[in-house]
Structure 1
């Protein structure tokens, strides 16, 4: 399953580890907020809708950051854009630790989100352009598995810090750790170079050709609309579920902090396994069937997890498929979206499709919090997440299959090169 690693070049490996490390550290910071929601509610006197608002505002700002910085990477290069967004994200995560009021926290988390979204867009395009097409799905899916690594680190830190420190100090320490991604800049500057194809592309491009709105041209408009719908379903389902999962386990399942961490550990391990499985399947069966398969399985497992009257043991067992199938969707999006657009607008296209979903999905955590006033939190999560994942199943069927597509950067041609023949899966 990991034979591809021996087949890629030294520069491809360095780019892989740079992106992997960046996304793991981002996940560490982002998931700390979800874990800290119960403490933040008590500290600032919030209700669930207020807590969902912080998550929602962060998602909107990250969406704008992804689209804008994706377009910026088309102009200044993927590596420089990645460096800028890492610094931005790290600084505002650290500053969030010093928020004295709910309003301050809201603003700082919004600014943090802008950098996070931009970092994903720049890193995803960099990785897609640096890796050869026959391994693109496997490599980008494996990079996405870094989210599980960072998520697991956040859970471990949460368990340790909340034991050693009082709650009103623990969440500040956790947010303060968010400065760690800044140290990744040293690795990026020393080891990662701009893909040669991208350098050629930018050398031939006039400055006025860089336009974030080019993705709405008639020849790519349909792809942009459908891709954005896929992003809405993918992010909406994930954030409706994962933002509120720790609170759900604690308040409705009445699990202790350590027990909640234990349940989350199962989901996180499954998430990593799901990313790796999706990475392998993408290059075997194609982008569309892989994405539809994982989304359909998400609908079934989410509804079972929150609606069935399960005991603790059954919930523990079901937690594995919940995390496994939830992972396959984001693991598929990086490769798919990169392969939908030509080089001169790839950063803008990837940034928009992936992050437009964040703008719309910002309403999902807020809606879950609002709906939980009139129904159980578990029911609210199940309804919102189930509908979101169902949208992915429908939307992905309207996109073309892109497995094996060359990411041609030469603007002398108006079209990408033809896809490679499908690999023999016997």
Structure 2
């Protein structure tokens, strides 16, 4: 192996770590993909009114609010312990979703599944950020995201067979639960991150009171308020503008362009396979030229290509614009996830990731609710989505002017640990 190859190759234990944490992202995205693709079939089976579909889809995302305390606990009891809890909860909720008999039952079960899966996703990015060397952190996070996105590929492939499966969309959830059980067994080899172990040892020496355990939440607000506000101002408009865009892709293709479920699944599979390269490209390029440049560039282009997707009548342009938008969206998401994992110290890194997740999903819910409100006014899901897309580019303003660059810098350099200072003087602001 040459020196150049060795510099871009992770040690065996870190490759194993990527696989063990990324495997659950694979199932999470498989579950999300199934819901998005099979939305017409789920809607018909559970008798969800057309005017409520956007709001219904948004309500399921409220699981992120329950995910916040779970992810917060990871800053107290450790990453490994919480991963076991989250994946177990995901497995139970996914199994039961297959047997839901009413829209209300399915809504509750999928909300719980989202709760555990959102917390799981947050922890996975935190673990990789803490364990991988700074020079390859973007590269590794790109691989992690790419592994997760393969779940969308599997859901697309299976969706082409929805009409021949004995129980239709319900069988997809049984398959997902089986995969989660395998992951639970494989994770027996996973260890606690070294950064959290060091932090826990320091906490044990000081014998903190129960009140001190609230420090992650307090620190998130007090230690780096400017960063937190800027991250919220980046996440919220982007998620608000794009939530309905993604939620209605399958429905739009089938009802506005006459695609069959098999054709939608095939397009999603092969188009997604090309677009997944966005994770690899963004991870490597963000390590080289910076997260902020990549994020600004991709946000603007994603918005533009989705405008083309929902406005064009040419089938070739439709497919090309969707692939380009998805490619760039993948690139933007992994870059934003990297930033969110790097901007805050170990003592509340998981809490900050959870807070960003809450903002992301809450803004998405608001976007879907806005789509439901606009639909009766404009008479078309596509026109409602086009109006909401105009909000997404505002996410570039805080990226350009208020967020620091984190590429190729150690986590301690980007965000020094200030837990001790905050315990003794809550007015300290580095």
- TM-score, normalization by structure 1: 0.89
Contact in 1 for aligned 2:161/2:262 (Cα 8 Å): no
Distance 1:84 1:5 in 2: 35
In the alignment, what sits opposite 1:141? 142
Partner residue, 1:160: 161
Shift of 1:343: 1.3
**Which residue does 1:100 correspond to in 2?**
101
Displacement of 1:69 in angstroms is: 2.2
For residues 356-377 of structure 1, the C-alpha deviation after alignment (integer angstroms, 9 at most, x for no partner) is 1111211222332442333322
Structure 2 vs 1, CA of residues 234 and 78 (structure 1 numbering), >3 Å: closer, same or farther?
Answer: farther
2: distance between equivalents of 1:49 and 1:177?
31
Residue 418 of structure 1 aligns with which residue? none
Tell me if 1:23 matches 2:21. Answer: no
Q: Give the distance between the partners of 1:213 and 1:410, measured in 2 at CA.
A: 14
1:344 aligns with 2:347: yes
Q: Are the structure 2 counterparts of residues 414 and 283 from structure 1 closer, same or farther at C-alpha, using a change threshold of 3 Å?
A: farther
Q: Summarize deviations over 1:231-272 as a string: whole Å, max 9, x none.
A: 223433443222110000000111122222233234412431
**Shift in CA distance, 194/44, structure 1 to aligned 2, threshold 3 Å:** same
Q: 1:372 to 1:149 in 2, by over 3 A?
A: same
- Report which stretch shifted further, 47-56 or 145-154: 47-56
Distance in 2 of aligned mates of 1:234 and 1:184: 32
**Distance across 2 between alignment mates of 1:125 and 1:295:** 23
Listed one character per residue, the Cα deviations across residues 287-309 of structure 1 (whole Å, up to 9, x for unaligned) are: 1111111001111111111123x
Partner of 1:260: 264
Offset, 1:322 = 1.5
Identify if the C-alpha distance between structure 1 residues 228 and 411 changes in structure 2 by more than 3 Å, giving closer, same or farther: closer
Aligned to 2:425: none
For 2:383, the equivalent position in structure 1 comes to: 379
How is 1:92-241 mapped onto 2 (pairs within 5 angstroms)?
92-165=93-166, 169-179=167-177, 180-190=179-189, 192-205=190-203, 206=208, 207-211=210-214, 212-241=216-245
Aligned equivalents of 2:276 and 2:243: distance in 1?
Answer: 17
1:7-22 alignment runs, 5 A limit: 7-22=9-24
Q: Is the 8 A contact 1:292 1:396 kept in 2?
A: yes
Contact 1:204 1:411 in 2 (8 A): no
SS state at 1:160 partner: coil
Match of 1:366 in 2: 369
Report the Cα offset of residue 3 of structure 1.
Answer: 4.5
In the alignment, what sits opposite 1:73?
74
Identify if the C-alpha distance between structure 1 residues 195 and 213 changes in structure 2 by more than 3 Å, giving closer, same or farther. Answer: closer
**Which sections of structure 2, spanning at least 5 residues, go unmatched?**
423-430
Structure 2 Cα separation of the partners of residues 58 and 5 of structure 1: 43
Please list the CA deviations of residues 100-135 of structure 1 after superposition, one character each: whole Å capped at 9, or x if unmatched: 111111111111111011101111111110101110
User: Residues of 2 paired with 1:25 and 1:9: CA distance?
Assistant: 25
Do the aligned partners of 1:86 and 1:116 also contact (CA within 8 Å) in 2?
A: yes
Q: CA 1:412–1:118 in 2, change beyond 3 Å: closer, same or farther?
A: closer
> How many angstroms apart in 1 are the aligned matches of 2:228 and 2:112?
26
SS in 1 for 2:168: helix
Query: Does 1:283 pair with 2:287?
Result: yes
Displacement of 1:4 after TM fit? 6.8
298 and 44 in structure 1: CA distance in 2 versus 1, 3 angstrom threshold:
same
Instruction: Tell me, in whole angstroms, the C-alpha distance in 2 between the residues paired with 1:95 and 1:344.
Output: 35
Aligned length: 407
Write the distance in 1 (CA, Å) between the matches of 2:39 and 2:419. 52
Structure 1's 213 and 300: CA in aligned 2 closer, same or farther, altered over 3 A? same
8 Å CA contact 1:239–1:361 kept in 2: the answer is yes
Q: Deviations over 1:168-194 (max 9, x none)?
A: x3111112223122321122112x211
